[in-house]
Amino acid sequence: MKTNAIVLSKIGSASHAFSNQEITLPALKQDEVLIDSEAFGLNYADVMARRGLYKEAPPLPCVIGYELVGKIIDVGNKEDQHLIGQRVLAFSRFGAYAKLVITKLNAIIPLPNAKAEIAMALSTQAVTAYYMSDYISTIRRNDIVLIHAAAGGVGSLLIQLSKLAGAIVIAKVSSDEKEELAKRLGADFTINYTKKPYEVEIESILKGRRLDISFNAVGGASVKKDMRLLGSGGRLFLFGGAELLKGRWGIFSKLSFLRKMGIILPVALMMRSKSILGVNMLKIADNKPHVIEACMKEVMALFESGKLVPQVGKVYHVADISAAHNYLESGKSTGKITVFWN
């Protein structure tokens, strides 16, 4: 079976990395479905893959992407034929930048009415946020929570989930516009780190107290800064490496990124009663798919009850995939970016 796909053909700039090609799909397995895609979402991992910085990405040429909205048009098991025609939100282990996408039965969620761009904002990024804030950890009332990249897809949801738990939220952003968004979402304090060092601002806000939680999608030097700001019992969730994208010198940029993060000894964490939790949702999906399913159900319940409002970002046509990637990489985006086929 053949289909059109946006293929990552080479590492580099968005304008040269992608090409629209016809690819061949394998035969469906018993536990799989075939989806005719309506739209797919962009994630920062996509940018990392295009830049050659994401080792989990398939070898080139490949089709990247983790999530899509579309209709099931075929199933691998005859007993699942009742699913044909259903509109669903689906997760995929890469491959979502294709018009026809194969994915697992346990990676789909019925989506009869919601707009695709809203569904995209409730998919990978919402599951990531919920997994950190509610599934593997608990935010308690009056906890002081720092959220890096607070106006992005994950960050905007973390603000809401933290406030639902009664936390005091410090939102770190890169522009006045993003500060306003963070405030609208409920952040108690906002910091535009382009104006002054964020760690200095936080010390002023804390007035002798320490952070309880940091949600860090940046990495690099911010890790050491956050560890100094954490109090006893504090937790740092590391779920991204946006600072790595600033580098332009290949392996030297990677080494600099790691050097800035520093060496953290387990015994030091024990003695100071602090913890670092690494989060890679692709690994969770590979080894514990039931966790993704459980988190998605909770996210949908919060959305349907009006407690969680997804932030829809810009919408693009598939022909403008380069522009979509450039916008996400620019650091100016807010909310979720969605790419439509039609």
User: DSSP letters of 200-237?
Assistant: HHHHHHHTT--EEEEEES--THHHHHHHHHEEEEEEEE
Q: What is the pLDDT of residue 261?
A: 67
**Is pLDDT above 50 for 162?**
yes
pLDDT in tens, 190-240: 999 999 999 999 999 999 999 999 999 999 889 999 999 999 999 999 998
**Is pLDDT above 90 for 278?**
yes
The DSSP 8-state label assigned to residue 26 in this structure reads P
pLDDT in tens, 129-139: 999 999 999 99
Q: What is the pLDDT of residue 249?
A: 45
pLDDT in tens, 53-106: 888 899 999 999 999 999 999 999 999 999 999 999 999 989 999 999 999 998
- Residue 170 neighbours by CB distance under 10 Å: 27
Q: What is the pLDDT of residue 252?
A: 44
User: What domains are defined for the chain?
Assistant: 2-122+310-340 (3.90.180.10), 136-282 (3.40.50.720)
Residues of the chain above pLDDT 70, percent: 94
**Is pLDDT above 70 for 45?**
yes
Backbone angles phi, psi at 130, to 5 degrees: -65, -40
- Over the chain, what is the mean pLDDT? 92
Query: CA distances (Å), 171 to each of 5, 78, 102, 142, 190, in order?
Result: 37, 50, 38, 15, 5
Q: What is the pLDDT of residue 112?
A: 82
Q: What is the pLDDT of residue 189?
A: 98
Q: What is the pLDDT of residue 296?
A: 92
